[in-house]
């Protein structure tokens, strides 16, 4: 059974890994077989927004495109939050025409993302990638229907283990994002924390993947 890597910026072309590779509309690579596509809040370019949105809209209707993202909100960058919210909502409108999930970049803006989910009545699954926060934030997101994806912080932050251990088995994913460590290393750490075998963990994540991605 494959290792499922929810979110990576590097296409490994490895037969043992089923990976969703992050793509940006302004540097789209047609050689990548399965991907997500979105406007990351760091890279909002007002001169390019309309062409980026057009590209996203086209790709979302292709089977190779697995999800919208990563997109979202980040309060720790200079781009005004109002601009980020506007671009985020424009992307949400596009993905709502499909059943595809949304891979979210969220920094210090969890309440805002929860509020937007309610405001726009978003039914598409919403996945917080690279989750690194405490039990309270995790529970708030879970209570509001979000999924949590864990990666580098699980390897580097020992306090996150207790948070991950308590996330229900049907509500999490694993990823590498931009780290050099392999997805196998992330699974090994996660399996130890959950006190299950790697094969059992692969089955859990695969089940979640098939359900959320409507496979």
Neighbours of 192 (CB within 10 A): 12
* Pairwise CA distance, residues 127 & 212, whole Å: 9
Class of domain 3-212: alpha beta
Q: Would you call 141 helix, strand, or coil by DSSP?
A: helix
pLDDT of residue 127: 98
Please write the tens of the pLDDT for every residue from 45-74: 999 999 999 999 999 999 999 999 999 999
Please write the tens of the pLDDT for every residue from 136-146: 999 999 999 99
pTM: 0.96
Q: Which sequence spans correspond to the domains of the chain?
A: 3-212
* Pairwise CA distance, residues 52 & 182, whole Å: 30
- φ/ψ region of 170 (left if φ > 0, alpha if ψ in -120 to 50, else beta) reads alpha
H/E stretch holding 172: strand 172-174
């Amino acid at each position: 059974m494959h290792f499922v890597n929810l979110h990576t910026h590097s296409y490994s072309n490895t037969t043992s890994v089923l990976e969703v590779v992050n793509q940006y509309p302004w540097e789209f690579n047609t050689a990548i077989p399965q991907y997500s596509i979105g406007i990351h809040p760091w890279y909002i370019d007002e001169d390019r927004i309309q062409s980026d949105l057009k590209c996203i809209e086209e790709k979302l209707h292709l089977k190779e495109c697995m999800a919208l993202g990563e997109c979202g909100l980040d309060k720790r960058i200079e781009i005004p939050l109002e601009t980020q919210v506007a671009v985020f909502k424009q992307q949400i409108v596009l993905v709502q025409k499909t059943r595809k999930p949304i891979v979210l970049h969220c920094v210090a803006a969890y309440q805002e993302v929860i509020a937007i989910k309610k405001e726009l009545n978003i039914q598409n699954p919403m996945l917080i990638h690279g989750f690194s926060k405490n039990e309270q934030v995790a529970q708030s997101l879970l209570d509001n229907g979000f999924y949590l994806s864990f990666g580098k912080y699980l390897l580097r932050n020992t306090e996150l283990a207790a948070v991950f251990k308590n996330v229900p088995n049907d509500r999490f994913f694993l990823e590498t994002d931009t780290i050099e460590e392999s997805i196998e290393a992330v699974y090994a750490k996660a399996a130890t924390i959950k006190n299950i075998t790697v094969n059992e963990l692969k089955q859990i994540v695969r089940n979640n993947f098939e359900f959320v991605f409507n496979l």
